[in-house]
Structure formats: C-alpha cells, structure tokens
Amino acid sequence: MSLLSRLKEKDTEGDKKASDVQKGPKQQSPPKPEAEKKEPTPKKPIIKKPERSSDNEKDKQLKALLHKQILQEMKESDDIDVIVPKIEEMAIEIIKEDESFRGADRKKIVDELTNDLTGFGPINPLLLDDDVSEIMVNGPNRVYCERKGKLVLTDVKFRDNEHVMHVIEKIVAPLGRRVDESSPMVDARLPDGSRVNAIIPPLSLNGPTITIRKFSEDPFVIDDLVQFGTLTKEMAIFLDACVKARLNMFVSGGTGSGKTTTLNVLSNFIPSDERIVTIEDAAELQLGQDHVVSLESRPPNIEGKGAITIRDLVRNSLRMRPDRVVIGEVRGAEALDMLQAMNTGHDGSLATGHSNSPRDMISRLETMVLMAGVDLPVKAIREQIAGAIDVIIQQSRLKDGSRKITKITEVQGLEGDIIVLQDIFTYEQKGLDENGKVIGELMSTGVRPKFYERLENSGITISSEVFMTKEEWAG
C-alpha cells in the first residue's frame, strides 16, 4: 500500500493524553546493524500513565510503545525515509512478543504515527480531502474545516497544546522560520503551496491556533464558476471581453468571498502572447500562460528590517515591461501607484480589494491613496480613480456558503465631485429555500456599458443577448 493511500486513511487520534505502558522498549526488537541501542532518555515524559482503562487501551499502549521505539530510532538517524518503513515491522515485532497486544488496531496506529512523522499529524486527512478548502485549528480539541463552502467542526483532535506546537514547528522549520514567544505569529506555506498562518499563546487564548487555506492543484476555471452559479454564462462572456479589451478591472469583496479565485479566472483570459507580472503577499494565483513573472512581497525579519511591500513590487513591476500587471490584493499606499500606472498606459490591469460594494470600494481606494502620504485634493484622487478603473466586480459569500458575483459595475467617470457608477449586471436575492439554500437571480440591468465601443474597437463583438434583461428574455 502506498504511503499516500495510508495517509488517506482516516486519522482517528482522539485522545487528550497519550498513555504509558511502563514497559520500556523491548530489548528483543529487530536487531540494528548500525549502532548499539541506547535507552531513550526523553527530558520530558512524553508518555504519560493512563488514568483509566478504555476499550482502545491496547491501541494506546501499543502506540506509546512504538512511539518510544521511534524516538530511540531517531537518535541514531533522523532520516524519516529510513524510519517510516520500519514502523510496521516494529509493530509486528512488539505484537509477536507480547500476547496482550493481540487485537490492537495495528494498521491504524502505524498510520497515525506515520502521519505524525511524515505529515502534519491529525490534520493530514483533512489536507488530503479534496472537499476541504480550509482548515482551522483552535487549540488541540477544536478543529474546524470548510467543506464545500460550509464551516464544520471536525472530530479531529490533537493530544495537547504541545502536539499542535509540534505540527506548527514542522510547518515553519523548513522555511527557516520559528514560532516562540518572541515571534508568536507566523505565515508559512506547506510544500504543496497551501497558505498557513499560526499564532500561539499568549497572543491566542485558545492555545496554538493554525489556519490553513488549501492550495487547489486544480484551480477553478470559468466553467466551474458558471456551474456553481457564481455568475451566468452571459456575465462570463462579458468579463472575458473586458479582459481581452484591456479594461482595468477591480474585484471587490469580503475575506473568503472568492476574490482571488475570480482574479485567477480573469487573469487566465489574458491572451498568451502578453507578458504578465503578478504581485501578491503570498502567491496564490495560478496562471495558465507561459509568460508570467510572479512576485511575492516579504515581511520584515525579526529585527524589523528587510520588508519588501506590495507597493515596492508595484513600482518595480513597471520597470519590467509588463503588458499586464495583476495585483493580488490592494490594501494600502500601493493603490496610488496602481492607479497612476493604470492611467499612464498600463491598461488591462487586474486587482482585488476588500470592501462591501462598488461604491465602498471607491471610497476605500480614496483612503488608500491618502495612505501613500501625498497631499492630493479629494477631487484629484477621484479623477485618478475614475480615469483608471473601468469595471468593479463585487463578490460575496452568501449565507449558504455559495459565492456570487453580486454586481458588475462600470465606473463611468466623474460628474462634479461624484464618481458615477453604473451597474451592468446585478444579483437579486429572493429568499431561502427549505434547505437553507439562497434563491436569487443574476440578471443584466439592460444597460450597455459606455465602454462598449472600446470593446468593439478591439475587435470584440458580444451578442446583444448578453445585455438582455429578464423581461426581454421572457418577452
């Protein structure tokens, strides 16, 4: 059986305490050719005496015994690839020698220990479950996940805080980072690209806390989003045309509303003969084109030095002869540089930002520009915004966990002091069905965008059906 399929087995580690068997390692275990066996002398008692006996007492004892042997083995060689294949063998040996272990769930125990050694312990099965998109560990006993858009409490449990800490260390150590009181918050990545944040006591009161946003090897494409009902086919045709016509587009929405996913889908509409520079805090975008340069910002080091911000990268990207600049999330001073770039020939740029509506996004952008420390009058800032951004795509996570593009809005320009916005597509929520699923309708408002000519001038024709309203469809 392959290691992967072993890891896929459900990890049912469910006990707060590891148990002790007080037997010590068996001296008759498989002979080691390399070195003399030493007694393990762990500083802290990793294995504790059981308080009461239970049905799976045998399992616990066997696991504890195996754990000790593994620790001992690791003193001689900490090469996991050498140790892991031996675990099963060790277990068989122990059971052979001690009748009382007959009937223990050997396979489960070996899998759990293998998970602890090679993977990320009890959360391994969640990491391998394709239906799970996010994993949240709030201390050892409350592990949540997002499964098909819904937040659920899982039955996964860690032994104790130390066990969670061990997993955090395992995640961050290969990146040369550490977690301890002097740096109690850390961002990291799993080898598969999943994003991890860990925060530990005393900052987190629930115990060590881990949040993982899983990397999808197989990112959503436009057809997936249409199938999920995030947008209609007509909206998809429209957005594709907007990207091809080099409009500047901004995806706006709350955390987890699917902004990055939509940005990824939009970016994949960019023709493959263009040079794309992507800028992100943590690289999440997965573009299908060949000619892509991905840039990632860098947090300051422990002395607070060496930070490279999104703004630094935006500025630098303009010297890289980009045809397109794609910015993962705009949240500060980089807004000014982005708008200036969009206004000075770098059209066709794409970005996301955090906000509740297109109008709100505009006012947030104003605030962000002010964060750049330039003394621009509000009117000038609005001119910049109105001149730069053509389309705002508003995205939401609805009550039932589904993601919707609730508005596609054109930024038409400045009238007096006001930026004029015109919705092209909207979502109308009608209520909930008996299963709690949101019912609603995505429709064109019937208004053709002012930039329609620009689309045509770029040689893009969109069927007039795309802009037909519900009434027109019905009639």
Ligand X SMILES: Nc1ncnc2c1ncn2[C@@H]1O[C@H](COP(=O)(O)OP(=O)(O)O)[C@@H](O)[C@H]1O
Contact positions toward ligand X, by CB under 6 A?
133-134, 149, 216, 225, 228, 230, 253, 255-261, 403
**Pattern of binders to Mg ion over 213-252, x per CB under 5 A?**
----------------------------------------
Nearer to ligand X, 184 or 229 (CB): 229
Binding residue for Mg ion, selected from 61, 69, 230, 260, defined by CB under 5 A: 260
Residue 13 CA to residue 156 CA, distance in Å, equals 7
Binding partner of residue 124 among Mg ion, ligand X, none, CB cut-off 5 to 8 Å per kind: none
Binding footprint of Mg ion, residue count (CB under 5 A): 1
Minimum CB distance to ligand X, residue 131 (Å): 11
Nearer to Mg ion, 30 or 254 (CB): 254
Nearer to ligand X, 55 or 218 (CB): 218
Binding partner of residue 409 among ligand X, Mg ion, none, CB cut-off 5 to 8 Å per kind: none
Q: What pairs with residue 243 in β-bridges?
A: none
Going by the DSSP 8-state scheme, the letter that residue 449 receives in this structure is P
Q: What pairs with residue 444 in β-bridges?
A: 425
Minimum CB distance to ligand X, residue 91 (Å): 37
The backbone torsions φ and ψ at residue 187, rounded to the nearest 5 degrees and listed phi first, read -105, 135
Going by the DSSP 8-state scheme, the letter that residue 215 receives in this structure is P
Minimum CB distance to ligand X, residue 141 (Å): 24
Minimum CB distance to ligand X, residue 441 (Å): 17
Piece of the chain touching Mg ion by CB under 5 A; list 26-34, 233-241, 255-263, 304-312 = 255-263
Residue 111 CA to residue 8 CA, distance in Å, equals 9
**Which residue, 195, 265, 255, is CA-closest to 230?**
265
Residue 294 CA to residue 284 CA, distance in Å, equals 10
Minimum CB distance to ligand X, residue 325 (Å): 18
Minimum CB distance to ligand X, residue 284 (Å): 7
Residue-wise DSSP of 67-102: HHHHHHHHHH---HHHHHHHHHHHHHHHHHH-GGGT
Minimum CB distance to Mg ion, residue 264 (Å): 10
Residue 165 CA to residue 135 CA, distance in Å, equals 16
Minimum CB distance to Mg ion, residue 259 (Å): 5
Nearer to ligand X, 201 or 401 (CB): 401
Binding partner of residue 211 among ligand X, Mg ion, none, CB cut-off 5 to 8 Å per kind: none
Residues 6+ apart with CB under 8 A from 438: 398, 399, 400, 402, 429, 431, 432
Minimum CB distance to ligand X, residue 414 (Å): 28
Minimum CB distance to ligand X, residue 277 (Å): 19
**Which residue, 320, 317, 322, 319, is CA-closest to 347?**
322
Minimum CB distance to ligand X, residue 233 (Å): 14
**Which residue, 449, 439, 337, is CA-closest to 392?**
449
Binding partner of residue 61 among Mg ion, ligand X, none, CB cut-off 5 to 8 Å per kind: none
**Which residue, 274, 265, 271, is CA-closest to 216?**
265
Residue 310 CA to residue 348 CA, distance in Å, equals 19
Residue 402 CA to residue 369 CA, distance in Å, equals 32
Nearer to Mg ion, 103 or 254 (CB): 254
Residue 471 CA to residue 12 CA, distance in Å, equals 55
Binding partner of residue 286 among ligand X, Mg ion, none, CB cut-off 5 to 8 Å per kind: none
Going by the DSSP 8-state scheme, the letter that residue 308 receives in this structure is B
Nearer to Mg ion, 260 or 394 (CB): 260
Residue 326 CA to residue 385 CA, distance in Å, equals 17
Nearer to Mg ion, 260 or 384 (CB): 260
Residue 67 CA to residue 350 CA, distance in Å, equals 51
Piece of the chain touching Mg ion by CB under 5 A; list 228-236, 239-247, 258-266, 286-294 = 258-266
Nearer to Mg ion, 182 or 255 (CB): 255
Nearer to ligand X, 29 or 402 (CB): 402
Piece of the chain touching Mg ion by CB under 5 A; list 214-222, 260-268, 297-305, 387-395 = 260-268
* 85 prior amide bond cis, ω within 30: no
Piece of the chain touching Mg ion by CB under 5 A; list 57-65, 257-265, 342-350, 394-402 = 257-265
The backbone torsions φ and ψ at residue 309, rounded to the nearest 5 degrees and listed phi first, read -90, 170
For residue 335, count CB atoms less than 10 angstroms from its CB and return exposed for 0-12, middle for 13-18, buried for 19 or more.
Answer: buried
Nearer to ligand X, 115 or 278 (CB): 278
Binding partner of residue 157 among Mg ion, ligand X, none, CB cut-off 5 to 8 Å per kind: none
User: Which residue lies nearest ligand X, judged by its C-beta?
Assistant: 258
Residues 6+ apart with CB under 8 A from 224: none
Nearer to ligand X, 68 or 259 (CB): 259
| Footprint of Mg ion (CB under 5 A) | 260
